[in-house]
Amino acid sequence: MKQYLVKPGEKVDLSKWDPNDTGDFTGGKDEGLAEIAKLDKKLAELQELLYAGHQHKVLIVLQAMDTGGKDGTISHVFDGVDPQGVRVASFKVPTPVELDHDYLWRVHNVTPGKGEMVIFNRSHYEDVLVVRVHNYVPPGAWEKRFDQINQFERFLADTGTTILKFYLHIDRDEQKARLQARLDDPAKRWKFRLGDLEERKLWSDYMQAYEDVLSRTSTVVAPWFIVPANRKWYRDLVVSSVLVDALKSLEMKFPEPEEKLDGVVVE
């Protein structure tokens, strides 16, 4: 999955990244789902090691345009893991208390502890995306945040956090189809907001903002992956593959028992 990695210093042009890409999976969805089943099992095993070992910390950042699939990714990729060791943190409009602090205050508070895997559904990157597109702060303010975010993530990495960031890449036509499907389905209509249509009008502005984010904040310790997400099964496959490879690289082991248990028999 290295073809989806944004190399540090690489200038990203999202028009050159195909959201319909399915890599080497010429067998289509059925082949992909079979591979995902294997990855699910492996991810569950590795997450158990992470939790039991209580040494490493893992942070997963999910960013996307509306309907890009953040909720779906969480629900499908992490459906087999132990909820004891996994948390999801969602970042909505800041509360009055959060606005009284610096923009990273609410983020640092929910980063993973030892043995934990934390998934950010949206993240601190909203403060160089939404605030920029809507002019909530002047350019001089959000421009500084790129370096601040890189330093913040470097600090997390230096203190034992493995960081993986995924931009779920859909195109404008796919977003249109998903918004319409949401509107047409009584079970999903509750998710639809008229504000989604206003945000959609700002698509080009968001693409420019995302290109800057991906270009300026993909680092060795906190890389971005641009995930082709028009096909949901392939989106899940890419995220699962990257995550499994990263967890394997930690070379985790179960801890030794606190007491010698040789010869112990449960009566």
CA dist 223 and 206 (Å) reads 20
- Read off φ and ψ for residue 169, nearest 5 degrees: -95, 110
Interhelix angle for 70-77 vs 29-53, to 10°?
70
Q: What is the pLDDT of residues 72-123, one digit of tens each?
A: 999 999 999 999 999 999 998 899 999 999 999 999 999 999 999 999 999 9
Residue 263: predicted pLDDT: 80
| pLDDT value of residue 260 | 83
* Residue 26 pLDDT > 90: no
* Under 8 Å between Cβ of 140 and 164: no
What pLDDT was estimated at residue 122? 95
Residue found by looking up tokens 């249509």 in the block: 197
Mean pLDDT of the chain: 95
Q: 94 — phi, psi (to 5°)?
A: -60, 140
Phi, psi of 165 (to 5 degrees): -120, 130
Tokens of 176: 């249109």
Q: Would you state the CATH architecture of domain 2-175+204-249?
A: 3-Layer(aba) Sandwich (3.40)
Cβ-Cβ contacts under 8 Å for 179 (sequence gap 6 or more): 66, 67, 192, 196, 197, 200
